[in-house]
Amino acid sequence: MNIILLGPPGAGKGTQARILVDGRGMTQLSTGDMLREAKDSGTEMGKVVADVMARGELVTDEIVIGLIREKLEGGGTGFIFDGFPRTLAQADALGDLLAEVGQTLDHVVAMEVNDDELVTRITARATCGMCGEVYNDITKPIPADGTCTNCGASSFKRRADDNEESLRTRLMEYYKKTSPLIGYYHAKGQLRWVPGLGDIDEVAGGIAAVLDS
């Protein structure tokens, strides 16, 4: 099963992707992770990526599609596309690639959120400086003893751009870029909405219900 996971910044896509990876053996394909991995790989495609990034240029859609092709041809029990596609041209290219390798896109899961609630949640967010475990002043406070429940570290940090003004700018950019994709996949009958602001297990249950339908 191959899916696209859509959601605005801070909606919890990364957390839900990890749940799918751990619970269903799926593979998360994050554009950023793939580019970093390719740059350090020493392969022909990796050399191309490293050269483009060294020049400070944007990586082309063709390069990203090439990296995704390598992952798909490597096999797996299903892929989660994270951060790609971002445009209608990329959506077309991904559809063509999946058809070429004999695979399908089974679901596009869009995490539905209330912007005001999302901003409140994100501005309360902190992460462990050692392992990256996410905490939230409202829903998952840093433990009273000041140590991370995951690794035991005692240093925590907050992103400088996790403030209301910056977040609303990021949300507007997300909606501008994503709204065409929402219409695109809705027209194809592949789009499924899942409430995105419940607790982690509730959201995971909603996504599971879509994937098992």
Which one of the listed residues 69, 71, 125, 168 is annotated catalytic? Answer: 125
Which one of the listed residues 13, 39, 121, 192 is annotated catalytic? Answer: 13
Instruction: Judge contact between 79 and 2, C-beta under 8 A.
Output: yes
Residue given tokens 């996410």 in the structure block? 134
E-strand ranges in the chain read 3-6, 27-30, 79-82, 107-112, 125-128, 134-136, 156-157, 191-195
Whole-number Å distance between alpha carbons of 154 and 122: 21
Which one of the listed residues 69, 86, 140, 168 is annotated catalytic? Answer: 86
* 55 belongs to the catalytic site: no
Whole-number Å distance between alpha carbons of 140 and 155: 16
Which residues lie below 8 Å from residue 175, measured CB to CB, with a gap of 6+?
A: 8
* 125 belongs to the catalytic site: yes
* 158 belongs to the catalytic site: yes
Residue given tokens 């990203």 in the structure block? 64
- In angstroms, the Cα distances linking 100 to 59, 69, 137 are 22, 10, 47
CA gyration radius for the chain?
18
* 192 belongs to the catalytic site: no
50 burial class (0-12, 13-18, 19+ CB within 10 angstroms)?
middle
Which one of the listed residues 69, 140, 159, 170 is annotated catalytic? Answer: 170
Which one of the listed residues 71, 158, 159, 168 is annotated catalytic? Answer: 158
Catalytic residues: 13, 86, 125, 158, 170
